[in-house]
Structure 1
Amino acid sequence: MNTEPRVGIGVLIFNSKHEILLGKRIGSHGEFSWVPPGGHLHFGETMEFCAIRETEEETGLIIQNPEFLAITNDFFEKEQKHYISIFMRANYTLEQRIENKEPHKIEEWLWFNTNNLPAPLFLPLKQLIEGKGYGGKI
């Protein structure tokens, strides 16, 4: 078992109605929870590049100028995994079509009002919303 924390990037994408894009996770830790686009930070990557890469890989969306929002420290007890989750924020441009490019990882992508989020939320996102992070809030 790897006891070192890994670094994950979550990309909070908002549309003009201030709705957030979330996908229902399947497989891996946090199964059936709702998560923003994101993934592991690769060796030598900037947080911005990782946010752009992961968003395109998962949704087909091309985001520009993602900005740092916050960090959470997340321990998944059941899976014995520890992550430092970095949240980046980006805006959605309406002319793009959202695709589910990784259907083996995400069941579907949907927009949600930030005052009416689905349950359960992926642990890092839940902690961010509950104010258990470092930095900004949604």
Structure 2
Amino acid sequence: MAATAPQPRVGVAVIIQNTEGEIVLGKRRGSHGSGTWALPGGHLEFGETYFACAERETREETGLDVKAVKLVAVTNDVFQELGKHYITLFVTCELKDLHAEPKILEPEKCEGWHWTSWADLKQWAEHHEIESSEWAENRLFLPMRNLIKEYPGIVDMPE
């Protein structure tokens, strides 16, 4: 019997902006993409809507209470060297408490949460391949790089 080829999985990434327009990012730990910056998010569970997934994952990872608003992008993310393939759904969410701050609720999965501007993220993506200490700390997770490459004005777009 032939071995079954790995199947793509569905990931949900959550775009949350604070009152200054910054986006919350966490530095991944203990999984593929360890050491890179990513949005809150995770795997879509069987029978779950992507909005429910976005709200659940955000609450589990950051403690932030959010309301999912809109599916804004989809990326095709192949981690060739790991044999992993994800379709990532990007969902914008609004903070229910505009002054809430993210907490590290899964320290084995995330080193810390930070608010970062979209302009900075675009610059990090542009310099991803540069091997210097200045840029090494600002590597982005593959779905983030693909989002910025394929949808560069997604956060800058008016409602």
Tell me if TM exceeds 0.5: yes
Name which one, 1 or 2, has greater alpha-carbon Rg: 2
Q: CA deviation at 1:96?
A: 2.1
Q: Name the TM-score, length of structure 2 as normaliser.
A: 0.80
- Which sits farther off after the overlay, 76-85 or 95-104? 95-104
Percent identical across equivalent pairs? Answer: 46
| Partner in structure 1 of residue 146 of structure 2 | 127
Unaligned runs of 5+ in 2: 125-137
Q: CA deviation at 1:97?
A: 3.3
1:18 maps onto 2:21 in alignment: yes
Tell me if structure 1 keeps the 8 A contact 2:68–2:91. Answer: no
Q: Secondary structure at the residue paired with 1:91? A: strand
Change (3 A) 1:2 1:63: farther
1:48 maps onto 2:65 in alignment: no
Tell me if structure 2 keeps the 8 A contact 1:10–1:36. Answer: yes
Structure 1 segments (4+ residues) deviating >3 Å: none
Q: Name the TM-score, length of structure 1 as normaliser.
A: 0.91
Q: Which structure has more RCO (C-alpha within 8 Å, separation ≥ 6)?
A: 1
Tell me if structure 2 keeps the 8 A contact 1:5–1:83. Answer: yes
Q: Secondary structure at the residue paired with 1:64? A: strand
**Aligned residue pairs: how many?**
136
**C-alpha RMSD of matched pairs (Å):** 1.8
Larger strand fraction of residues: 1
Larger helix fraction of residues: 2
